[in-house]
Structure 1
């Protein structure tokens, strides 16, 4: 198979990529800006995505948790015991390492941190997957695995990238110490599947999480039948289509998905309409569209259904606690749209509150030669705004508590 959706594949020698590493000196000009954005993002001190440049305090109290994360910590420690000394050195980083932010949903310009799952033996790879499986719901884990398999299926569609478009061409790392009472984290990233997960004694927060698929539906080969984002697309259309006409008009940022017809902030050369993607840890994105507080009860229920689906990537118990946190801000949860209100047409939507940020966008082709967005190439990101991507707000709270004098802690507890 070569090409998809009536479009041919782009030339097999268009991108100078070898085993997932891209030589940016040889990529098309429209991709060069991404390299600069990657460098700037890591150089800038972390603030977090905000609506006005000022993180809101006290959104993420680190309260005692009755939930259990010991299975995940056990899996992480078991995985680490399977590694050679050299692998162990590359797979372990401090919990506050800036490398936690050094992820990309495409292909890095140089050898990144972490161990490459492709290079691990089957036992080691299974151990890494066990760690992710313990930190995601069954559905969330299956979705991540589907994205990895779609990446392998894309090799047949694109042609010429067999050493890069592979099921396990993803970098994996453990941050911190997966021990009781210690904050730690997990990262896996590569083409169209990127997870940054922070864990601390009954708390799990995932963000940024990036999932993507080109193509969205696998038609042939060993992974034929895999479908990505059916619910995310359908729930978004249901919400937009169900809004009262005046609210739908206000939610619509632009009716067209054609790049030349969009304002610059909705026509990035590689990110399309997305403003919170890989290089945008400190993005300032104002609220826009319509808020949950303006919606009627039926639309609010549809908004809750959409939020619940995304939060449901977390394990049982953790998902319910996260949803409760998100619903505290339902009146201040903003919804915006670009494009057609049709699940078979390209569109973009954004859900933005003080504690959750979601974007889903149809994209132009990278390996498939569609120059405008099509619904068979989807990008999706979920962030934790106001400073808790990478669990940074939680980590600050842990360290602040640890630095308090014992008498002060005793007094605050009384």
Structure 2
């Protein structure tokens, strides 16, 4: 049912309105927040394809304002996420001499299946600004090459095989699980033409080769992965993974359960002194947040779509104030964020994380005992990782809940999309 706080059919200002009282976890499950299938919130979209749905979804004034702001950000020259607007020289490219060729070969097989017209749509220069066109909503803002659900089965399978060959087995499973949960949501609300396991865009950047510079991107609702290989060194950033709901009654595993348990273990281990530093806001809707801190689409996360140049000052507690056990917990969370990387590549990235331990920050919004939805950010010169609990979009909960999760991962200081590495290789073109 609509209320005076509704911004459009999906967004309510409730999700960004400060509340003096704590936001406590709903004791029920996500099924308590399913709309009736005949509710206009759902029924108005039934029977539409994604093209017409996207056209209509972009019409409201609120969405037009949002898209205009995102377009302005997209049009900016790429700089990278920084703490103060100044890029630090922290990303040193060390070529991997024994780079595995499987990912490049899988990409070559995909491209070989495309005719000239589709290859022109699917393949871009490795330094193309089109890397930055990804987005999370289920409606299309920018198309990103080929849409999986529209491809012949051999081509779709080849695209998925490229993704699989590039990622770790466990990382690929996580990406496919997020895609499957999108399909689960489409079934829940009876809108499978808008949300399914293949309602995603895929494209290739550069010329695939194990030792050269190339990559691919896969994005759509709750899944956006940018993979880049530069002289054999892999970067998987930015990454946006989420789910609504993030679990499915035992039919599918909870997507972020292990990460959330590790985060709560770390938060609950904090001493009173540490907690006073780490907990920046006592609630995810804390009225002491400054104007603009809460965003009607992003809610609390700062590193989502089109935020390539965001200035994010460090906040919370510096890792030097954590003991070794707490650092190990924090590092395990960071490793889980990097699960998409193959194990050898993950070791290289974690070594970079370790090198900046003294300049790593942990911030937390909400209670640390698991009684409330929370926001987590781990931030250093080489990693920005977030987990945020959100209000409903296709479910009716107007306040953040643990069953709607967004996570983001970036490499600050200019190495999103491998750009810092590309510049060192001399293969990057400019925006």
8 A Cα contact 2:81 2:311, kept in partner: yes
2:337 aligns with one of 292, 295, 310? 310
Partner Cα separation in structure 2 for residue 42 and residue 365 of structure 1: 26
- 2:173 is aligned to 142
Are 1:40 and 2:40 counterparts? no
TM-score, normalization by structure 2:
0.86
- Residues 185-207 of structure 1: CA deviation (Å, up to 9, x unaligned): 10000000001111123210011
**Is the CA contact (8 Å cut-off) linking 2:365 and 2:376 kept in structure 1?**
yes
TM-score by length of 1: 0.89
SS at match of 1:89: helix
Q: Which sections of structure 1, spanning at least 5 residues, go unmatched?
A: 402-414
Counterpart of 1:7?
A: 33
Q: How does 1:368-387 map to 2 (within 5 A)?
A: 368-387=395-414
Deviates more, 1:7-16 or 1:371-380: 7-16
Change (3 A) 1:354 1:102: same
1:53 match: 85
- 1:180-195 paired onto structure 2 within 5 Å: 180-195=210-225
Shift of 1:65: 1.4
The answer to whether the 8 Å contact 1:267/1:273 transfers is yes
Give the C-alpha shift of residue 245 in structure 1. Answer: 1.2
Residues 213, 427 of structure 2: 8 Å contact kept: no
Do structure 1's residue 89 and structure 2's residue 120 form an aligned pair? yes
Matches within 5 A, 1:197-208: 197-208=227-238
1:239 aligns with 2:266: yes
SS at match of 2:342: coil
CA drift of 1:177 comes to 0.4
**Could you report, residue by residue, the CA deviation over 1:54-98 in whole angstroms, capped at 9, with x for unpaired residues?**
0002x1111131442311100000111112332211111111111
User: What is the correspondence of 1:214-363 to structure 2 with a 5 Å cutoff?
Assistant: 214-219=244-249, 224-258=251-285, 262-343=289-370, 345-363=372-390
Does the CA-based 8 Å contact 2:133-2:142 persist in structure 1? no
Q: Which of 112, 118, 123 lines up with 2:154 in the alignment?
A: 123
Aligned to 1:76: 107
Is residue 187–residue 195 contact of structure 1 (8 Å, CA) maintained in 2? yes
Task: Measure how far apart 1:154 and its partner are.
Answer: 0.3
SS at match of 1:126: helix
How far, CA to CA, are the matches of 1:262 and 1:329 in structure 2? 28
Q: Unaligned 5+ residue runs, structure 2?
A: 1-28
Bigger shift: residues 103-112 or 16-25: 16-25
**Kept in 1: contact 2:100–2:210 (CA 8 A):** no
Structure 2 match to 1:411: none
Looking at structure 2, the residues matched to 36 and 393 of structure 1 have their Cα atoms a distance apart, in angstroms, of: 28
RMSD: 2.2
Shift of 1:227: 1.7
